[in-house]
Amino acid sequence: MALITLRRNLYHLSDFRIHGALAALKNHPVNHVRKMVKGRLCPWFPSLQPEPCRVRFHHACCKKFHSDNGDALHPLGEPVFSQAHEWAGPEQNPKSLDEQMFYGRLNDLDSSEDVLRFIGTLQPLPDSLAAEALQRICEVEKKDGNHRLPKGILENGVFQALCVRFEQESPSLSDTALVTALQALSLLYVDPQSNLLLNLVAESRHRVKRGGLEVRSLCILGESLIRLQGPGGETLELIIYQLQREKLETFAPEDIVALYRILQACAEKVDRHQAFLNKINSFSLSVVSNLSPTLMSQMLTALVALDQTQALPLVIKLGKYAVRHIPHFTHEELRKVLEAFIYFGHNDRFFTTALEQHVASLCLTLDPEVISTVMEYCGRKRILSKPIFDAVAETFVGQSEKFSPRQVSELIEPFGKLNYLPPNASALFRKLENLLLTRFDYFPPKTLLKILHSCSLVECHPVNFMAKIFSPYFLQQLQGEESSVDRLSLAQLTQLFLTSVLECPFYKGRKLLPKYQVRSFLTPCCSLETPVDFQLYKSVRIGLIDLLGARMYFASKVLTPYCYTIDVEIKLDEEGLVLPFTIDEDVHKRLALCIDDPKRFSLNSRHLLGKEAIKQRHLRLLGYQVVQIPYYEIEMLKSRVELVEYLQRKLFPHNVGVRWQEG
């Protein structure tokens, strides 16, 4: 981090001498002076009258002081007409300047040089306006992406005079000017050990201990101290304590969000402040409708950092109002909003609709990080949005070189997870294959494995890479410094190997060694299968008992030799008779019942997830007769009799009745 050390040898404002003013008057005729004052001030402050007025001149306080009229820069001690003016009389005193005009003019300036040139014609300003000028310099530099002030600004006489003024006059500054100046300087990475910041911080600490600072000032001061000193300072604790004593009803929406940001910086102490956070979470429900897109994004980010999982009502309401802000979020803000919704498990169909419109219309201009986060959001929430997926596929085909390996993984995985092929699928996976071939070594092993496994879920089998990922070298890289390869990676490798055997019989390359193969894809923590829903299974079980006559004629949760777990298995002999599940001889056909609850489908759809689709494909290739029993068909049955008739049609569509053998 670049730090700015302000020079300590600046001349003090008190060194201004009256002989400088006399010299200036001597060198510049009175009429010339009046004409110059009128020409510089009247365009911005039309209330200034053209008639003669008393003008007092000050000498420049630094060796180099910018001269707005084009005159040469003069060293200290030489006479020069200063750009700092004071007006005598109540209507021409700087304290009575039209602040609204000042702020309007200040906000129209797009460079620090313009800001300094502008305030150089108006000095000395009231401390609040001077602080705002410093704040504007900070905003301009941040907008340009600068992390430190350019050398030309540091050596600018007006800027140096501004800093000297805040350094020497800190005890007499207003609360607003003090905290605004401190905020601006902290954002500009000024050296915390400079006399300027040491004086401002000391004065701020004194006023906090004395009490009486307004909520807005406390919030600004708290965030500035975090940037300068970190979250562990004693003054920051005192600020948080004082904010807790204030009535939340007196906080403006931006103050509430600032309070979240302060507590976010102290996330390791969240338990200490949880009671206060609960109050803020409840009160924030009333301010959500007044939040700007930036404030909304910041609030959600803080809720994530503070792990406020109990604040779901607030998250839901933020999601409701985020819909209208989607076109107005910056790329980074939208990414933060999506990350928060992923974290809290929130989704909203209106938000999804607005997101579809936004991504479909602007996908080619969206940042790759935003695109990958949008896809991650869809994948995590099982949202199969064809407009989003199609737009993202088009973007990747045209701009694949812009995506990092992690972003490529986050973009491709949802296609496999949600079992969706876009209209340009051939171009998409051809582009992906070329990217992997040319940049294979740039992809971390686990990331590469996730991508290839996702491709296999949608039958885009990565045959050209199988020999590489089954090699001892790749497996050693995959293991890294751990004692063994993680369970999920082993499961993905095993399913890829099973795919090469069942769906790619032409593949004759390297095989996966048995020691890297798992026995079951169904595990508690990292499963490639979705466990059967117990309530749905109970309903089906009752119908099966009625249909088959006894519980002994079907088995539940059967682990096959091929790693898949079958929800219900029924064995038939050559004549179509149902065998007891304990008999293994004379089995001619095996029925594999897939009892599919909503978790096995994309959200609010009847589209199977990729891992369920590949399971059913493989079971069929292994000789099973797969019978799908989806939840939406079971829910339509109104009686037990209808359930039995339904199962009869599903299991034995060609038989009028059903027969079974006694065991």
Residue 554 CB burial class (10 angstroms; 0-12, 13-18, ≥19): buried
Tokens describing residue 78: 């030489």
Who has greater pLDDT, 304 or 20?
304
Phi/psi of residue 565, nearest 5 degrees: -110, 125
In this structure, what is the dihedral angle of CA atoms 473, 478, 479, 484, given to the nearest 10 degrees? Answer: -110
Tokens describing residue 570: 């029924």
> What is the mean predicted confidence (pLDDT) over 540-554?
95
* Residues 630/623, Cβ–Cβ less than 8 Å: no
Q: Looking at residue 131, what is its pLDDT?
A: 86
Tokens describing residue 377: 């959001």
Least confident of 77-86, 101-110, 263-272: 77-86
Phi/psi of residue 133, nearest 5 degrees: -65, -40
Residue 154 CB burial class (10 angstroms; 0-12, 13-18, ≥19): middle
Q: Looking at residue 439, what is its pLDDT?
A: 93
Q: Which helix (H) or strand (E) holds 182?
A: helix 175-187
Per-position DSSP letters for 313-369, written without gaps between them: HHHHHHHHHHHHHGGGS-HHHHHHHHHHHHHHT---HHHHHHHHHHHHHHGGGS-HH
Coil, helix or strand at residue 556: strand
Instruction: Flag whether pLDDT at 66 surpasses 70.
Output: no
Instruction: Flag whether pLDDT at 50 surpasses 80.
Output: no
Tokens describing residue 270: 């969240």
> What is the mean predicted confidence (pLDDT) over 215-220?
93
Least confident of 80-89, 178-187, 387-396: 80-89
Alpha carbons within 13 angstroms on the beta-carbon side of residue 525 total 4
* Residues 661/549, Cβ–Cβ less than 8 Å: no
Tokens describing residue 153: 């600004």
pLDDT in tens, 442-487: 999 999 999 999 999 999 999 999 999 999 999 999 998 888 899 9
- Sign of the alpha-carbon torsion through 260, 261, 267, 273: negative
Tokens describing residue 286: 């009333």
Q: Looking at residue 123, what is its pLDDT?
A: 60
Q: Which helix (H) or strand (E) holds 574?
A: none
pTM of the model: 0.78
Most confident of the ranges 119-123, 133-137, 360-364, 596-600 = 596-600
Average pLDDT across the chain, whole number: 83
Confidence category of residue 132, pLDDT binned at 50, 70, 90: confident
> What is the mean predicted confidence (pLDDT) over 265-275?
89
* Residues 313/285, Cβ–Cβ less than 8 Å: yes
> What is the mean predicted confidence (pLDDT) over 575-593?
92
**Preceding omega of 124 cis (within 30 degrees of 0):** yes
Q: Looking at residue 134, what is its pLDDT?
A: 84
Q: Could you identify the residue written with the tokens 């390359």?
A: 509
Least confident of 63-67, 137-141, 246-250, 490-494: 63-67
Confidence category of residue 109, pLDDT binned at 50, 70, 90: confident
pLDDT in tens, 336-363: 999 999 999 998 899 999 999 999 988 8
Q: Which helix (H) or strand (E) holds 291?
A: none
The proportion of the chain whose per-residue pLDDT surpasses 90, expressed as a percent, equals 61
Which positions ≥6 away from 634 have C-beta within 8 Å?
536, 539, 540, 643, 646
Least confident of 122-126, 292-296, 566-570: 122-126
* Residues 453/495, Cβ–Cβ less than 8 Å: yes
Q: Looking at residue 44, what is its pLDDT?
A: 33
> Rounded to an integer, what distance in angstroms lies between the CA atom of residue 602 and that of residue 381?
8
Per-position DSSP letters for 127-171, written without gaps between them: HHHHHHHHHHHHHHHHHTT-SS--HHHHT-HHHHHHHHHHHHSGG
Confidence category of residue 633, pLDDT binned at 50, 70, 90: very high
Confidence category of residue 128, pLDDT binned at 50, 70, 90: confident
Instruction: Flag whether pLDDT at 46 surpasses 50.
Output: no
> Rounded to an integer, what distance in angstroms lies between the CA atom of residue 140 and that of residue 109?
9
User: How do 565-572 and 578-579 pair as beta strands?
Assistant: antiparallel
